[in-house]
Amino acid sequence: MMKDAVRESLSYWGLFGKMLQVKKEVEPKCIPFGGHKHQYFLYYEPKNVKSNTIIMWVHGGGWNAGTPKQFDFVGQCAAKNGYRFVSIGYRLSPKNKYPCQIEDVCAGYKAAVEFLAKNRIDASRLVISGSSAGAHLAAILCCSEKTQEKLDVDVKNVIGFIGIGGPYVFSGKQSFAVRVLLNQLFFKGYDRARGEPYSLMTKSHVPMLLIQSKHDGLIEYSCAQQFYEKAKSLGSKCALYTVADSKNTHSWYTAGMFLETREKNQSLNQFFSWIENLH
% the chain with pLDDT above 70: 99
**132-171 pLDDT, tens per residue?**
999 999 999 999 999 999 999 999 999 999 999 999 999 8
**Structure confidence at residue 4 as a pLDDT band (50, 70, 90):** low
pTM of the model: 0.96
**Which amino acid, one-letter code, is at 156?**
K
Q: Give the model's pLDDT for residue 173.
A: 84
Instruction: Answer whether residue 1 shows pLDDT above 80.
Output: no
Q: Give the model's pLDDT for residue 216.
A: 94
Q: Give the model's pLDDT for residue 161.
A: 98
Q: Give the model's pLDDT for residue 7.
A: 82
**Structure confidence at residue 2 as a pLDDT band (50, 70, 90):** low
% the chain with pLDDT above 90: 89
Quick one: average pLDDT of 210-238?
97
User: Distance between CA atoms of 197 and 190, rounded to whole angstroms?
Assistant: 15
